[in-house]
Amino acid sequence: MTKAEKAQFVIDTLENIYPETPIPLNHKDPYTLLIAVLLSAQSTDARVNTITPLLFAKADNPYDMIKLSVDKIREIIKPVGLSPMKSKGIYGLSHILINKHNGKVPQSFEHLEALPAVGHKTASVVMSQAFEIPAFHVDTHIHRLLYRWNLTNGKNVIQTEKDAKRLFPKELWNKLHLQIIFYGREFSQARGWNLENDLITKTIGRKSVLDAYYKKKK
């Protein structure tokens, strides 16, 4: 298969398995999504979804959030990890949203990435999932899978994102990125991976990845 044919196989297979792609992080608007995505760094969506109701019960908008202290925010979000950095980020970005953006989450990569504790990945999630602006952010699942599928050289997430945007139609980015994440979690995990259940990798996988898998199984 050519890379274009492989990309189409991925699109067709994922659309068949995941015709619907609900956003994994519970939220009600762009602000609560921004906070949830920030909290998800080096944590799981499931864990974040147990903590955000506690935080949002006290503050689900920037005006109420700045009424809390950094220490109070940190106390609530501690179970998700990296709480010192995340609590300062939440408090700081809430002030900036009020002072510079009338309390609204900006629909701009430039403005989002200027917020404390908000990097390109977080900004991309918000742009795609809150505002439906095409973005294809690369997390560990997407980076791993596109390498296994020989659709990127896997040197770094920046290159993987460029390769993904080149291979897949822009109008599919927002849905496809979620489909790949779902597939990676269910069929192509980093640990405990069972290739027999992984249809896409079995069909189009990188030879070195397949050889390494079977060698390890012997």
Query: What is the set of active-site residues?
Result: 121, 139
Give the CA distances from residue 2 to residues 145, 164, 172, 180, 181, in Å, rounded to whole numbers and listed in that order.
Answer: 17, 15, 20, 20, 23
The token duo for 40 is: 């998800």
The token duo for 47 is: 């864990």
What is the chain's percent helix, strand, coil content, to nearest 5?
65, 0, 35
Looking at residue 45, its amino acid is D
Burial of 105 (0-12, 13-18, 19+ CB in 10 A): buried
Give the CA distances from residue 75 to residues 39, 59, 78, 208, in Å, rounded to whole numbers and listed in that order.
Answer: 13, 14, 5, 46
